Amino acid sequence: MRASLPGGHGEASPRLTRFAVLGDYTLDIAIAPQARRRHGGDVPAWIRLGPGGQAANVAVRLARMSGRSSVRLVAPMADDLAGRLLREALAAEGVELAPLPAARSSAVAIIVDATGERTMLSDRQSLPAAAAAAALAGADWVHCSGYALLDETGDALAAALGERPASITLSVGGGSVPPEPPRVERFTARLRTAAPQICLLSRDEAAGMLGRSTPPPARRAAALLAGLADVVVVTDGARGSAATFGGRTFVAPPNGAVGRVVDATGAGDAYAAATIARLASGGWPPSAARLERAMASGARLGARVARVAGAQGRVTGERRITA
- Residue 63: give the domain boundaries: 17-26+53-106+127-305
279 inside domain: yes
Task: Please write the tens of the pLDDT for every residue from 138-181.
Answer: 999 999 999 999 988 899 999 999 999 999 999 999 888 877 88
Top mean-pLDDT range of 59-68, 105-114, 120-129, 289-298: 289-298
C-alpha torsion angle, residues 312, 316, 321, 323 (rounded to 10): 120
How far is the C-alpha of 152 from the C-alpha of 124, rounded, in Å?
A: 12
Of 29, 84, 11, 68, the C-alpha closest to 294 is 11
Note the pTM of the prediction, 2 decimals: 0.88
Q: What radius of gyration, in Å, describes the C-alpha atoms of the chain?
A: 19
The reply to whether 122 falls in a domain is no
| Residue 119 covered by a domain | no
Please indicate, yes or no, if residue 113 is contained in any of the structural domains.
no
Amino acid at residue number 194: A
Within a domain: residue 162? yes
| Closest to 86 (Cα-Cα) out of 58, 57, 50 | 50
At residue 278, the pLDDT reads 93
Please state, in angstroms and rounded to a whole number, the distance separating the CA atoms of residues 148 and 22: 8
Domain count for the chain, please give it. 1
Contact 125, 264 (CB under 8 A): no
Q: Is the pLDDT of residue 3 over 60?
A: no
The C-alpha atoms of residue 238 and residue 302 are separated, in whole angstroms, by 9
Using an 8 Å Cβ cutoff, are 142 and 161 in contact? yes
Strand 141-144 relative to strand 17-22, pairing? parallel
Q: What is the CATH number of the domain that holds 202?
A: 3.40.1190.20
The answer to the question of residue 204 being in a domain is: yes
Residue type, 136: L
User: Is residue 232 in a domain?
Assistant: yes
Among 146-150, 220-224, 251-255, the range scoring the smallest mean pLDDT is: 251-255
Largest CA distance in the chain: 62
